């Protein structure tokens, strides 16, 4: 598996953020070719010390790092990336990595 991990800091207007995220951005994301699962937190993203800096943690999983890189070149992915400018806080972080089970 391989993953795109997106950490969205607390937005100024959480209600507007959620409306755009679940009303527009999630639909664009689901269209990305090769996407195997798409998971987001419900409820708070806590830390052991209490409330954390992030409002939303999104995890997009692909079969392999090759499938992920291919997906990133698709028009569907480019549309989702372009949409970030419409709602994502400036310091949103995106990480891309190959993943393996060590259980």
Identify the CA nearest to 2 among candidates 78, 79, 56, 66: 66
User: In this complex, which beta carbon is closest to a copy of itself, that of residue 16 or of residue 44?
Assistant: 44
Sites of contact with a copy of itself (CB under 8 A): 1, 3, 5, 22, 26, 30, 35, 37-48, 52, 54, 57, 59, 65, 93-103
21 phi and psi, to 5 degrees?
-60, -55
Q: How far is the CB of 87 from a copy of itself (least distance, A)?
A: 16
Q: How far is the CB of 12 from a copy of itself (least distance, A)?
A: 21
Q: How far is the CB of 89 from a copy of itself (least distance, A)?
A: 16
User: In this complex, which beta carbon is closest to a copy of itself, that of residue 49 or of residue 86?
Assistant: 49
User: In this complex, which beta carbon is closest to a copy of itself, that of residue 15 or of residue 102?
Assistant: 102
Q: Give me the helix-helix angle, 65-72 and 75-83, nearest 10°.
A: 70
Is residue 92 classed exposed, middle or buried when 0-12, 13-18 and 19+ CB atoms within 10 A define those classes? Answer: middle
């Amino acid at each position: 598996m391989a993953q795109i991990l997106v950490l969205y800091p607390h937005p100024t207007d959480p209600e507007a953020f959620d409306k755009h995220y679940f009303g527009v951005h999630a639909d664009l994301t689901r269209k990305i070719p090769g996407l195997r699962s798409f998971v987001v937190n419900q409820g708070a993203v806590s830390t052991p010390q209490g409330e954390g800096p992030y409002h939303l943690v999104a995890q997009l999983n692909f079969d392999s790092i090759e499938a992920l890189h291919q997906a990133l070149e698709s028009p569907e992915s480019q549309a989702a990336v372009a949409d970030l400018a419409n709602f994502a806080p400036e310091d949103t972080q995106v990480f891309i990595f190959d993943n393996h089970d060590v259980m």
